[in-house]
C-alpha cells in the first residue's frame, strides 16, 4: 500500500517535471525524474512540454505592456548620498573607530608638544603629590628657601634650591625619598593652598651624561594636579597644586609664563 502511494506521488511529480533546467527541482523531484529517465513516456512528455513552452514564449505581448519589460531599469538605482552612507552601520562603526584612533593620535601629539626633559618624572610626582598625606613628611616650619641647606647638610643633595618665586613660602613639612629609579627626590609641603614642591635630578643624555635642560617654566598635568617645572644646575624644581595652569600662573614671574 505504501509502495503504491509512493508510486502515485512519483507519477504526480513526473507530471509536474520542470520543462527546462531553469526551474529548480527538489530532492523528491530529482529522484522521480532519475527513476523515469530514459522511459519513452517521460521523454514524450518532456518533448511535448518543451515544444509547448517554446510556443508560449512566442505569444505576442501587447506593445504597451511590452514596454514595461524593456532593457531599461524599471526602478532607478538609489542615489548615493553621504547621508545614506553615514547611516550604514559598517561605515558608522569604521568612522567611530577612525575618530577614536585619530583622537588618541592627536592627544598623544599634543601631549608630546608639551613634553620636555623630565616631564615623565614630573607627571609621576604629581601622582605622588595627590597621594601624599602631611603625616608622611617630617614637620618643618620654615621658609622654603632655607630647606636647600637642609637638603645639602642632611642628605648631601647639591643644588636642591627653591627658586626665588617660591623662596618666601612657609613650609609645614618635607622629606627625601627615592623613586623607582633610585633617584633622590625632595618633597616639600607648604601651608599655601596645600601646595607641594618637588626637587629631582634633571634628565641627562644617556651617552654624554650632559644635563638636558630647558628654559623657563613648563607645565605638566596629571589626575587634576598641575605642576610648573623649571631646571637649574642639573636639578628640576616643580611646584605642584591641585587645579589648573591659572592657579599656578600668579606665582610665576610674568616673563616666564
Partner 1 sequence: MLGDSRKAQEVFHATLREAAQRAARRELPSEPFWLFREARWRCLEATKNDLQPEALEIGEHDLAPAAASQIERLDPVQIAIWISAAPDPQRSALALFYLDEFDYREILDLAELKLTELSCLLAKGRRQLQAWLDAKFPQPGRV
Among the candidate windows 40-48, 191-199, 200-208, 247-255, which touches partner 1 by CB under 8 A? 40-48
Cα(32)–Cα(36) distance, rounded to whole angstroms?
A: 6
* 25 is an interface residue for partner 1 by CB under 8 A: yes
* 39 is an interface residue for partner 1 by CB under 8 A: no
Contact criterion met (CB below 8 Å) for 54 and 46: no
Contact criterion met (CB below 8 Å) for 159 and 200: no
Give the strands of the sheet with 235-242, arranged side by side: 138-139, 171-178, 184-190, 196-201, 235-242, 225-232, 218-222
* 90 is an interface residue for partner 1 by CB under 8 A: no
Among the candidate windows 38-46, 136-144, 214-222, 249-257, which touches partner 1 by CB under 8 A? 38-46
CB of 84 to partner 1, least distance (A): 18
Q: Looking at beta carbons only, is 5 or 182 nearer to partner 1? A: 5
CB of 43 to partner 1, least distance (A): 8
CB atoms within 10 A of CB 196: 26
Tell me which residue of 195, 196, 246, 244 sits closest to 224, measured CA to CA.
244
Tell me which residue of 238, 162, 236 sits closest to 204, measured CA to CA.
236
- Exactly one of 1, 4, 56, 153 binds partner 1 (CB under 8 A); that residue is 56
* 4 is an interface residue for partner 1 by CB under 8 A: no
* 49 is an interface residue for partner 1 by CB under 8 A: yes
- Exactly one of 2, 22, 72, 207 binds partner 1 (CB under 8 A); that residue is 22
Cross-strand bridge partners of residue 48: none
- Exactly one of 3, 37, 64, 72 binds partner 1 (CB under 8 A); that residue is 64
The distance in angstroms from the start CA to the end CA of the chain is 104
* 53 is an interface residue for partner 1 by CB under 8 A: yes
Distant-in-sequence contacts of 144-150, Cβ < 8 A, 24+ apart: 144/168, 144/169, 144/170, 144/171, 144/188, 144/190, 144/197, 147/171, 147/174, 147/186, 147/188, 150/174
CB of 15 to partner 1, least distance (A): 4
Cα(116)–Cα(127) distance, rounded to whole angstroms?
A: 18
CB of 34 to partner 1, least distance (A): 16
Please count the residues of this chain forming the interface with partner 1, following the rule CB under 8 A: 40
Q: Looking at beta carbons only, is 52 or 86 nearer to partner 1? A: 52
CB of 89 to partner 1, least distance (A): 22
* 26 is an interface residue for partner 1 by CB under 8 A: yes
Residues that bind partner 1 (CB under 8 A): 8-9, 11-13, 15-20, 22-26, 29, 40-41, 44-45, 47-62, 64-65, 68
Amino acid at each position: 500500500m505504501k509502495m503504491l502511494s509512493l508510486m502515485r506521488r512519483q507519477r504526480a511529480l513526473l507530471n509536474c517535471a520542470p520543462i527546462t533546467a531553469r526551474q529548480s527541482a527538489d530532492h523528491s523531484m530529482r529522484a522521480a525524474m532519475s527513476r523515469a529517465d530514459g522511459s519513452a513516456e517521460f521523454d514524450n512528455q518532456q518533448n511535448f512540454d518543451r515544444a509547448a513552452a517554446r510556443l508560449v514564449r512566442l505569444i505576442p505581448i501587447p506593445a504597451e505592456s511590452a514596454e514595461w519589460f524593456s532593457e531599461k531599469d524599471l526602478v532607478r538605482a538609489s542615489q548615493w548620498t553621504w547621508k545614506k552612507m553615514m547611516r550604514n552601520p559598517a561605515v558608522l562603526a569604521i568612522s567611530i573607530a577612525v575618530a577614536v584612533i585619530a583622537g588618541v593620535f592627536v592627544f598623544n601629539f599634543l601631549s608630546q608638544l608639551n613634553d620636555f626633559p623630565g616631564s615623565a618624572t614630573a607627571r609621576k610626582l604629581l601622582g605622588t603629590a595627590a597621594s601624599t598625606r602631611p603625616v608622611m613628611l617630617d614637620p618643618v616650619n620654615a621658609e622654603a628657601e632655607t630647606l636647600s641647606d637642609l637638603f645639602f647638610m642632611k642628605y648631601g643633595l647639591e643644588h636642591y634650591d627653591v627658586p626665588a618665586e617660591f623662596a618666601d613660602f612657609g613650609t609645614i613639612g618635607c622629606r627625601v625619598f627615592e623613586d623607582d629609579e633610585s633617584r633622590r627626590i625632595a618633597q616639600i609641603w607648604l601651608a599655601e593652598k596645600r601646595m607641594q614642591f618637588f626637587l629631582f635630578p634633571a634628565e641627562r643624555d644617556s651617552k654624554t651624561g650632559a644635563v638636558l635642560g630647558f628654559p623657563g617654566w613648563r607645565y605638566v598635568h596629571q589626575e587634576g594636579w598641575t605642576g610648573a617645572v623649571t631646571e637649574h644646575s642639573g636639578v628640576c624644581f616643580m611646584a605642584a597644586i591641585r587645579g589648573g595652569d591659572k592657579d599656578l600662573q600668579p606665582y610665576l614671574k610674568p616673563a616666564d609664563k
